[in-house]
Amino acid sequence: MLTLGVFIMSRKSWIFTLGTEVVCGRVVNTNAAYLGRRLTLLGFEVLGVVSLIDDVELISAALSLVLRTGPDLIVTTGGLGPTYDDVTLEAVARAVGRRLAVNELALEMIKKKYEELKLPLTPERVKMAYLPEGGVVIPNDVGTAPGCLIKSGETLIASLPGVPRELERMWESFVEPRLRELSARRVVVERSFTVTNVPESSAAAIVKEVLRRYGNVYVKTHPKGHEIRAPVLEVYVQVFGDELGECERVADEVLKILKDGLESVGGVIT
Amino acid sequence: MLTLGVFIMSRKSWIFTLGTEVVCGRVVNTNAAYLGRRLTLLGFEVLGVVSLIDDVELISAALSLVLRTGPDLIVTTGGLGPTYDDVTLEAVARAVGRRLAVNELALEMIKKKYEELKLPLTPERVKMAYLPEGGVVIPNDVGTAPGCLIKSGETLIASLPGVPRELERMWESFVEPRLRELSARRVVVERSFTVTNVPESSAAAIVKEVLRRYGNVYVKTHPKGHEIRAPVLEVYVQVFGDELGECERVADEVLKILKDGLESVGGVIT
């Protein structure tokens, strides 16, 4: 079936948002939401997001486990800076079996930035120029620490800073254009609507039937009200495929089936 | 050293925030921040947060891996509802090697809720009463799907819904009181301040020296401005211990050392 083909062809990806401050809840992980959204709209299937404390052994072990499953892409955020607990590239190096070494281009970029203020190249500053051997520098126009792109087997690993405005600039100007070139284009069409007066447990059977019929459709219901006393559901539909027109046609069809089904059990579509 | 003892005694925990909508960035993962914060303040060390798509094999494989490391606690959120993709308790059951079975107390609770509106017990509604054998029901006063507490080896697994107001109520009224009883009390003292005019790469050496001296102190610098042109750092200090007064004394001492050090390289404390 064609629809199965679409899923098999989809590119698998994982996101690692690294940093103790993320894990222990001192910051809300907006980087994960940003990257999850960008990757999904690029046609990547994101399988998981992993946040870990700044522990090089834990991070490299987790990266190794995910690498062994052979995803197309791993994006890491955080841990590229000058401090003792910035250990991401060391963890990446261990996971891919390379050594960390000074990257001359990265060193040049860092040197130039600190020279602006006549600041010397201390060991902490040079640290940011250490990349896994074979890594490609991702320039950081907003901040100081460069990122790194490296291939391990079939998996591309992109490491970016944790500061959102640095991450986002580097993603949009450098990483995403390269992913567009690499990735088989996959169209993603999204729709959503709200239905009141239907408990999620009643919608479940209707959604299940749609998913049985369509292989390239994903439907999720999000309860927003109270399941029994005042049920409100957000219904989200995603259609994947090779061709926009066909995806939109399927999306319209699925939306009609869902709305009709929900109305038949007393739902009010809003 | 006593301080080493504090770390060894700390309880290890992991958070699993489950759901495709979290992974692909349709929602920002506020549940992770909520639980990370609550667990940290309870004296647990949170090692990682894992978000996964609604795939029972992927979730059970990841839970099994983490279980094998022997943490004291795993908290899961999401995937307890009536729909086809609510697979968390099936994944927990597989990971701990138990069968899913109808829990009579859970069934009674669910029945009662739907009887309010004279709604029948469909398979989708009964589904929410299936818990891993040996699991204890966590009542859900806000919504419908009950949670589950289960012990596997030395690890306690608490499974809660993904809807934040249900999760938070169940956490605060049921889970956290039980964790307080179980856990060795560990005191956590937090302090933070802001320093301008010091690049993070200059602060790095000062922080490193403090961490060399104190075993029960965690310091992290968060760059908020521009590393070179307008450096602003938030400096966060956490002190762990058995006794509040001693932790506060250490925190004051560390804060003074950090502030003096940062001022000596031109920093302005605000």
| HEC sequence for A56-89 | HHHHHHHHHHHHHCCCCEEEEECCCCCCCCCCHH
8 Å CB contact between A54 and A85: yes
Chain B residues touching A49 at Cβ < 8 A: 22-23, 29, 49-51
8 Å CB contact between B144 and A227: yes
The pLDDT mean for chain B works out to 92
| A51 with B47: Cβ contact below 8 A | no
Disruptive mutation site among A63, A83, A209 for chain B (greatest number of B CBs within 10 Å): A83
Instruction: Name the β-bridge partners of A13.
Output: A46, A73
Place of tokens 């102190």: B217
8 Å CB contact between A73 and A158: yes
Measure CA A201 to chain center. 30
Query: Which residue in chain A has the smallest CA separation from B32?
Result: A25
| B144 with A201: Cβ contact below 8 A | yes
Disruptive mutation site among B83, B115, B186 for chain A (greatest number of A CBs within 10 Å): B83
Task: Give the pLDDT confidence score for residue B185 in this predicted structure.
Answer: 67
Task: Give the pLDDT confidence score for residue A209 in this predicted structure.
Answer: 92
How many CB pairs below 8 Å do chains A and B form together? 211
Quote the CA–CA distance of B79 and B94 in Å, as a whole number: 15
Chain A residues touching B211 at Cβ < 8 A: 84
Q: Is the model's pLDDT at B3 over the cut of 60? A: no
Quote the CA–CA distance of A94 and B173 in Å, as a whole number: 43
Task: Give the pLDDT confidence score for residue B73 in this predicted structure.
Answer: 96
Model confidence at B9, pLDDT cuts 50, 70, 90, reads: low
Task: Give the pLDDT confidence score for residue A4 in this predicted structure.
Answer: 30
Region of residue A176 (left: phi > 0; alpha: psi -120 to 50; beta: else): alpha
| B201 with A226: Cβ contact below 8 A | no
* A104 token code pair: 């001359």
| B122 with A28: Cβ contact below 8 A | no
Of B25, B65, B223, the CB nearest to A40: B25
| B58 with A48: Cβ contact below 8 A | yes
| B25 with A38: Cβ contact below 8 A | yes
Chain A nearest CA to B115, separation (Å): 10
Region of residue B70 (left: phi > 0; alpha: psi -120 to 50; beta: else): left
Q: Is the model's pLDDT at A192 over the cut of 90? A: yes
Model confidence at A3, pLDDT cuts 50, 70, 90, reads: very low
Of the given ranges (A127-131, A186-190, A226-230, B259-263), which has the lowest mean pLDDT? A226-230
| A124 with B163: Cβ contact below 8 A | no
Disruptive mutation site among A10, A13, A14, A24 for chain B (greatest number of B CBs within 10 Å): A24
Region of residue B177 (left: phi > 0; alpha: psi -120 to 50; beta: else): alpha
Model confidence at B227, pLDDT cuts 50, 70, 90, reads: confident
Of B40, B208, B227, the CB nearest to A24: B40
| Average pLDDT of span A162-173 | 97
Q: Of A74-78, B176-180, B183-187, B219-223, give the range with the top mean pLDDT.
A: A74-78
Chain A residues touching B121 at Cβ < 8 A: none
* B148 token code pair: 């589950």
C-alpha angle A94-A100-A105 in degrees, rounded to nearest 5: 140
pLDDT tens profile B88-108: 999 999 999 999 999 999 999
First to last CA, chain A: 35
Model confidence at B1, pLDDT cuts 50, 70, 90, reads: very low
Disruptive mutation site among B24, B38, B56, B171 for chain A (greatest number of A CBs within 10 Å): B24
User: Hey, what CATH topology would domain B187-269 get?
Assistant: GMP Synthetase; Chain A, domain 3 (3.30.300)
Quote the CA–CA distance of B75 and B160 in Å, as a whole number: 8
Burial class (CB in 10 A: 0-12, 13-18, 19+), A85: buried
| B202 with A122: Cβ contact below 8 A | yes
Task: Give the pLDDT confidence score for residue B2 in this predicted structure.
Answer: 27
| A50 with B47: Cβ contact below 8 A | no
**Looking at this protein, which amino acid is placed at residue B100?**
L
* A47 token code pair: 């399988």
Q: Which of residues A241 and B105 earns the better pLDDT score?
A: B105
| A20 with B211: Cβ contact below 8 A | no
Q: Is the model's pLDDT at B4 over the cut of 70? A: no
| A128 with B204: Cβ contact below 8 A | no
Place of tokens 């009200």: A225
Model confidence at A80, pLDDT cuts 50, 70, 90, reads: very high
Quote the CA–CA distance of A160 and A145 in Å, as a whole number: 9
Model confidence at A227, pLDDT cuts 50, 70, 90, reads: confident
Q: Is the model's pLDDT at B230 over the cut of 50? A: yes
Place of tokens 């701990």: B96
Of B85, B143, B201, the CB nearest to A124: B201
- This complex has an ipTM of 0.90
What are the domain boundaries of chain A? Answer: 2-182, 187-269
| Average pLDDT of span A233-261 | 94
In order of A16, A218, B243, the CA distances from A191 in angstroms are 28, 11, 54
Enumerate residues 6+ apart whose C-beta is below 8 A from A71. A12, A13, A14, A47, A155
Q: B2-182: which CATH number, 2.40.30.10, 2.40.50.140, 1.10.3720.10, 3.40.980.10?
A: 3.40.980.10
Query: Which residue in chain A has the smallest CA separation from B25?
Result: A33
Quote the CA–CA distance of A129 and A111 in Å, as a whole number: 10
Quote the CA–CA distance of B47 and A53 in Å, as a whole number: 6
Task: Give the pLDDT confidence score for residue A226 in this predicted structure.
Answer: 81
Q: Is the model's pLDDT at A6 over the cut of 50? A: no
